[in-house]
Structure 1
Amino acid sequence: MRLGKVSGISFDLDDTLWPFEVVVERAEATLHAWLLENAPKTASVLPAPQALAQLRAEYERSRPDLAGDFRALRIGSISLALELAKEDVTLADLAYDVFYSARHQVEFFEDVMPALHWLSARFPLVAVTNGNADLRLTGGGEFFRAALSASSVGVAKPEAEIFHAAARAVEVAPAEMLHVGDDYHLDVLGALDAGFQAAWLVRRNRLEIARVEKNTREPHLTIRDLSMLCEALGGPGSLS
């Protein structure tokens, strides 16, 4: 696909700028260790760090009213673990702070920082996430004019309004905005439906590219890293 005029770029965060699964696993391991030290009876409820993810998933299914409220879901599941273990439930907020801090210890994909440096010198950048990542804590915030989340806007991707809010944040018409993300449904189709251009970032699963592109007529750019994005926008093929 050949891009039209691009005057601003929005970026997804988790699994676009850094791998998300490893971050959450590490954060849950940190939280688990903290709980065992400060509420030792939780060992009976949470025999391993993986049990935290299972308990959170179960809690989320029981509380559909909290969908998208990651803080409430995490605190709720921690409170449940403390209650089941007959530990002090008031520790939940402190435990969440431990998790939240560890959740922001991300490792950017190696192509990200050089690309953001090049792109931010030429385009206003805005982050658009359904998650709770905070660029002030992860680092990299200096490259972005604004950062929007589903909780701050009140709607989540793929709804058009969150994309339109991103366009307004950098004062660019939707047709001249390019959204970059790893999720085909949330990022690519959501952006296209909002009148944006879209770049689908697929770092690993090439079979998924073939499957989607065989069954879609939606025009979008497909890239395997952000160096390819820079090249498509007139930059060098390699920024390393």
Structure 2
Amino acid sequence: MTPTPRSTGVRRSYGALSFDGDGTLWDFDSAMRQALEDAARLLRGAGACRPGGPVTAGWLREIRDHVAGREEFRGRTMESIRLASFRRAVAECGISDAGLAREAYETYMEARWRRLRTYEDVPDALAALGSRYRLALVTNGNTRPHRVGLDGVFGTVVVSAECGLHKPDPAIYLHALRRMGLGPAEVLHVGDDPVEDVDAARRAGMDTAWVNRLDVRWPYADPPGPTVGDLGELTPLLLDGGSP
């Protein structure tokens, strides 16, 4: 697979920068996978066995995705969805012990927070960028900045579960702009997801920078605009080498 060429076309005249969280600032997927392994191990140790095989992290993730897609969970918090998914998993294993589902949930949450880390490039990059720009976080996830050592970094924090708006609806970006008191042309959004970050923020009228940490091909015909491998590559473009 041929990676997307790197682009450096960014301006330095923005009033603020907004950032996605999961996959952009912190490695949520790794923490989630490891936490699900811990929860699966606990359930297997309690004698739980899913139809057709052992309880695995992959199966628990499939159940969570199924629960999250149900209409009655639209707009619910990530925590409530995760707990409901463990209750469903335990029930599918033929176990009626509600306490086991709660124990699996608490095991997962403890492990998830304990293992969650920002990417190595993030703290220094945000410190440097914050010296010139106002910073905002716009996330569908449930990680607050203080959980990953970024307390006080963002002047504006927009969380889907709190505002009732979810990416890829561009309304969440318009809401963030109103919170900041800035127009779309004044804020650059930085994120890793082509749909939820790049396309959605563009539809809100914002410039975007694509953080392509996995060095994958851009999935659409239209170019992504400025593309960087991490925030360490983005920082000098915005502080020194961008297009005025």
TM-score category of the 2 structures, normalised to the smaller one: 0.7 to 0.9
Give a deviation string over 1:54-100, Cα, whole Å, max 9, x none. 33234445x23314633232211211233343242144345323322
CA distance in structure 2 between the aligned counterparts of 1:231 and 1:109, rounded to whole angstroms: 18
Indicate whether 1:178 and 2:188 are aligned: yes
2:48 counterpart residue number: 42
Indicate whether 1:66 and 2:73 are aligned: yes
CA distance in structure 1 between the aligned counterparts of 2:75 and 2:33, rounded to whole angstroms: 19
Indicate whether 1:152 and 2:199 are aligned: no
Identify which of 184, 196, 201 aligns with 2:211. Answer: 201
SS at match of 1:157: coil
Distance 1:53 1:41, change over 3 A: same
Runs of 4+ in structure 1 deviating by more than 4 angstroms, as ranges, are 43-46
Structure 1: gaps spanning 5 or more residues: none
Indicate whether 1:107 and 2:117 are aligned: yes
CA distance in structure 2 between the aligned counterparts of 1:66 and 1:183, rounded to whole angstroms: 23
Identify which of 161, 166, 170 aligns with 2:176. Answer: 166
CA distance in structure 1 between the aligned counterparts of 2:57 and 2:193, rounded to whole angstroms: 27
> What letter corresponds to residue 15 of structure 2 in structure 1?
S
CA RMSD of aligned residues (A): 2.6
SS at match of 1:127: strand
1:128 counterpart residue number: 138
> What letter corresponds to residue 13 of structure 2 in structure 1?
K
Deviates more, 1:121-130 or 1:131-140: 131-140
Distance 1:205 1:180, change over 3 A: same
> What letter corresponds to residue 226 of structure 1 in structure 2?
L
CA distance in structure 2 between the aligned counterparts of 1:68 and 1:101, rounded to whole angstroms: 24
How many matched pairs?
A: 229
Q: What percentage of aligned pairs have identical amino acids?
A: 30
Identify which of 79, 82, 98 aligns with 2:87. Answer: 79
Distance 1:236 1:112, change over 3 A: farther
Give, in angstroms, the shift of residue 49 of structure 1.
3.1
Higher relative contact order (CA 8 A, sep 6+): 2
What TM-score, normalized to structure 1?
0.83
SS at match of 1:21: helix
SS at match of 2:199: helix
CA distance in structure 1 between the aligned counterparts of 2:38 and 2:148, rounded to whole angstroms: 17
Identify which of 21, 28, 45 aligns with 1:13. Answer: 21
2:6 counterpart residue number: none
Structure 2: gaps spanning 5 or more residues: 1-8
Higher fraction of helix: 1
CA distance in structure 2 between the aligned counterparts of 1:77 and 1:166, rounded to whole angstroms: 30
Deviates more, 1:126-135 or 1:166-175: 166-175
